Amino acid sequence: MPNFQTPLSFISDNCAGASSEVMQALLSCNSGSANPYGSDDLTMGIETKLAELFEHEVSVFLVSTGTAANSICLATLSPPWGSVYCHAQSHINNDECAAPEFFSQGAKLVSVPGIAAKIDAQELAAAVSRRVGDIHSTQPGCVSITQATELGTLYTVSEIAEIGEVCQSANIGLHMDGSRFANAVATLGCSPAQMTWKAGVKALSFGASKNGVLGAEAIVLFDQSLAQEIAFRRKRAGHLTSKMRFLSAQMDAYLKDDLWLANAHQSNLMAQRLSEGLGRHELIEILEPPQANILFCRFPLWLTQRLLDQGCSFLHDRWEEGVVRLVTSFATTDFEVDLFLQRVQAALNEA
Ligand SMILES: Cc1ncc(COP(=O)(O)O)c(C=O)c1O
């Protein structure tokens, strides 16, 4: 008999706690004093560690939210009269309350079509050449792609490189919203370098909070010429944390022994397990095979209601009727996935 007592949450990877290694690192850095505002040893060490990981000289700026990381990057890459090309389904377009527009003092988000929440490079090439030089129109500012996407899909390395080439010929920067960067690397099996600067990415929002960190994200710049401007922008945005060592300790633990990658593997594995289990039922449609840790499916409405009534939680009322989103995290276990699948099976048996 399925157990209906345990609450099961697939709402978001933001619902998970933090890895024990991260919590331990926070405790360990708590003793003694450290220089404030990022001039402590721990913070300075992060830049070296990320430079090693990315096999490139980098400038790193820690902030406490992904929205801040994205907005600060975009404001730096685009002038106020610029177009920030992005996909219509992107987080910057739908879920940041116009923070990119606010921080950039008015840059315009321009959506570029493409399947599976990915910008199509040819559509982008057409978009960046529209109305260039026309004083009545915003001008090419920068491009922002999300990897992994909001739909749980991935750009291949060569798709990123194609977009990078369009950016290069239009002389604009490429930003990557890597809120789920680790999930993408875990699936593609490529190096962080291949997925970023080698493919033309100039600025990365390196996410960590969704994947085991309590609250820290890193802006990683591959273009050093932007570093000074970003430093001032971060301060003005209120993200130059005085006790920066606490953010750095989290990031340090996240990078140590590839915790970031191990966590992402677990998270992706759980999404696969969920997808395989749900895909066995005729009444359930898997809308996109999950490449990361997000799974979109279509459930009969009564099934969604039955699962919600039994204490399962997931997003279900934001899209077309019947579409549900299930998100796994590093903390999701086989047990939880199997329990959810049992509840689905039991509901379908009763129908
Ligand atoms: C694709 C993507 N980018 C960025 C973010 C960062 O958001 P926050 O400002 O809530 O940390 C999220 C969080 O849901 C996201 O899904």
pLDDT tens-digit series, residues 205-219: 999 999 999 999 999
331 in Cβ contact with 11 (< 8 Å) = no
Q: Is the pLDDT score of 284 beyond 90?
A: yes
> Per-residue pLDDT averaged across 15-27, rounded?
97
Q: Is pLDDT of 1 > 90?
A: no
If you take atom 8 of ligand 1, which residue's CA is the nearest one?
Answer: 66
In the reported structure, the alpha carbon of residue 97 is separated from the centroid of ligand 1 by a whole-number distance in angstroms of: 12
**pLDDT > 70: what percent of the chain?**
98
Q: 10 Å Cβ neighbour count for 190? A: 16
Angle at 152 between CA 150 and CA 153, to 5 degrees: 105
Q: How many residues in the chain?
A: 351
What is the spatial distance between Cα 339 and Cα 35, in angstroms, rounded to a whole number?
48
Using the mean position of ligand 1's atoms as its centre, give its distance from the Cα of residue 179 in Å: 6
Q: What is the pLDDT of residues 68-90, one digit of tens each?
A: 999 999 999 999 999 999 999 99
Closest CA to 68 of 196, 236, 305, 212: 236
**Residue among 95, 211, 267 to mutate when testing ligand 1 (max atoms within 8 A of CB):** 95
- What is d(CA 319, CA 210) in angstroms, rounded to the nearest whole number? 22
Average pLDDT on 276-302 reads 96
- β strands within the chain, DSSP E: 8-9, 59-63, 82-86, 108-111, 139-146, 173-178, 203-206, 217-221, 285-286, 294-298, 312-313, 323-327
Structural contact between residues 273 and 336, judged by C-beta atoms closer than 8 angstroms: no
Coil vs helix vs strand at 53: helix
- Mean pLDDT across the stretch 50-65? 98
76 near 230, Cβ under 8 Å?
yes
Residue 91 Cα to ligand 1 middle (Å): 6
Averaged pLDDT, 30-42: 96
Percent of the chain topping pLDDT 90: 97
Ligand 1 atom closest to the CA of 14, numbered from 1:
14
pLDDT category at 17 given cuts 50, 70, 90 is very high
What is the side-by-side order of every strand in the sheet holding 294-298?
285-286, 294-298, 323-327
- Rounded distance from Cα 347 to ligand 1 centre (Å): 33
Asked if the model's pLDDT at residue 2 lies above 80, the reply is: no
Q: Judge contact between 47 and 270, C-beta under 8 A.
A: no
Question: For a pocket test of ligand 1, which of 12, 86, 144, 179 has the largest count of ligand atoms closer than 8 A to its C-beta?
Answer: 179
> Residue 255, Cα to own-chain centre: how many angstroms?
17
Nearest ligand 1 atom to alpha carbon 70: 4
Ligand 1, residue 90: give the atom nearest the CA: 1
- Tell me what pLDDT residue 5 has: 60
pLDDT averaged over the chain?
96
For 181-202, what is each residue's pLDDT tens digit? 999 999 999 999 999 999 999 9
Q: Residue whose CA is closest, atom 5 of ligand 1? A: 66
Is the bond into 16 cis (omega within 30 degrees of 0)?
A: no
**pLDDT tens-digit readout, 97-114:** 999 999 999 999 999 999
Residue 7 has pLDDT above 80, yes or no: no
Q: Residues lining ligand 1, judged by CB closer than 6 Å?
A: 65-67, 70, 91, 146, 150, 177, 179, 209
Beta bridge partners of 177: 146, 205
Q: For residue 180, which atom of ligand 1 is closest to its CA?
A: 1
SS3 labels along 295-338: EEEECCHHHHHHHHHCCEECECCCCCCCEEEEECCCCCCHHHHH
pLDDT of residue 239: 98
Do strands 203-206 and 8-9 pair parallel, antiparallel, or not at all (unpaired)? unpaired
